[in-house]
Amino acid sequence: MEVLSVENLKVELEGREVLKGVNFSIEYGEKVFITGPNGAGKTTLLETVMGFIPFTGRIFYRGKPLESERDFEEVRGRIGYVFQNPDDQLFAPTVEEELAFAPLVKGLKREEVKRIVETTLREFEIEHLRGKPTYKLSGGEKRIVSVACVVTMDPEVILLDEPTTGLDRKRWNKLVEFFEETESSLIVVTHDTRLMERLGWKRFVMEDGELRGE
């Protein structure tokens, strides 16, 4: 069963066709990579799926076409998006507050939010960062916190844009462990060949706005 799919997706930015009719789908629980050269349109594809960029063609979530801004708002509660640049994502004063944000927005009770925050801090081994302002984190710390934040939403699908950039060996292993264990569907945009080899998932290649399987 497909959870997310796009049909003939086209995006034009400043008069240039950046996505040239992309077709793609992912099943419940499926995990895939998208790789390809700089400027090929990988980030644009993820941002379009999240409803940040105007497009033509169709995007389906659980078989339902996403059309209105409201459709995308609803889907943004179920699809987690880890930005290529963590500074575009992190905004709360502290790591703890950053992690609490999505569960609070969901309307969960304080105690439940606290439980989720604690579990996530432990899962990603970032307890020591809990009180730190996010802007004072190192690059690698920001990266892992931005993944952890998305995990607190308990998303059905997670889109991750270059999630291993700047991670040391320990954090890289932690992330791989998370990728292996999560039940969420994953779309991981990456240039990290070691990661792709280690996990062995299906790969798609984006080249000049066209996506093909490998």
Ligand X SMILES: Nc1ncnc2c1ncn2[C@@H]1O[C@H](COP(=O)(O)OP(=O)(O)OP(=O)(O)O)[C@@H](O)[C@H]1O
Residues that bind Mg ion (CB under 5 A): 42-43, 84
Of the candidates 181, 176, 184, the residue with the CA atom closest to the CA atom of residue 159: 184
- Does residue 13 bind ligand X (CB under 6 A)? yes
Q: How many CB atoms lie within 10 A of CB 26?
A: 20
Q: Is 22 helix (H, G, I), strand (E, B) or coil?
A: strand
Sign of the Cα torsion 203, 206, 212, 214 reads: negative
Strand partners, 33: 188, 203
- Chosen from Mg ion, ligand X, none, partner binding at 69 (C-beta under 5 to 8 Å by type): none
- What minimum distance in Å lies between the beta carbon of 88 and Mg ion? 12
Stretch that binds ligand X, among 32-40, 123-131, 138-146, 176-184 (CB under 6 A): 32-40
Size of the site for ligand X (CB under 6 A): 12
- Does residue 207 bind ligand X (CB under 6 A)? no
- What minimum distance in Å lies between the beta carbon of 37 and ligand X? 7
- Whole-angstrom Cα distance, residue 75 to residue 4? 10
Choose between 39 and 93: whose C-beta lies nearer to ligand X.
39
Choose between 13 and 105: whose C-beta lies nearer to ligand X.
13
Query: Would you give the binding string for ligand X spanning residues 35-74, x where CB under 6 A is met?
Result: ---xxxxxxx------------------------------
- Chosen from ligand X, Mg ion, none, partner binding at 152 (C-beta under 5 to 8 Å by type): none
- What minimum distance in Å lies between the beta carbon of 142 and Mg ion? 17
- What minimum distance in Å lies between the beta carbon of 49 and ligand X? 12
- What minimum distance in Å lies between the beta carbon of 121 and Mg ion? 28
To the nearest 5 percent, what fractions of the chain are helix, strand and coil?
40, 30, 35
Q: Is the CB of residue 84 less than 8 Å from the CB of residue 163? A: no
Choose between 44 and 152: whose C-beta lies nearer to ligand X.
44
Of the candidates 194, 203, 197, 195, the residue with the CA atom closest to the CA atom of residue 179: 195
Strand partners, 186: 31, 158
Q: Is the CB of residue 96 less than 8 Å from the CB of residue 60? A: no
Could you tell me the end-to-end alpha-carbon distance of the chain, in angstroms, rounded to an integer?
21
Residues near ligand X (CB under 6 A) = 13-14, 18, 38-44, 84, 206
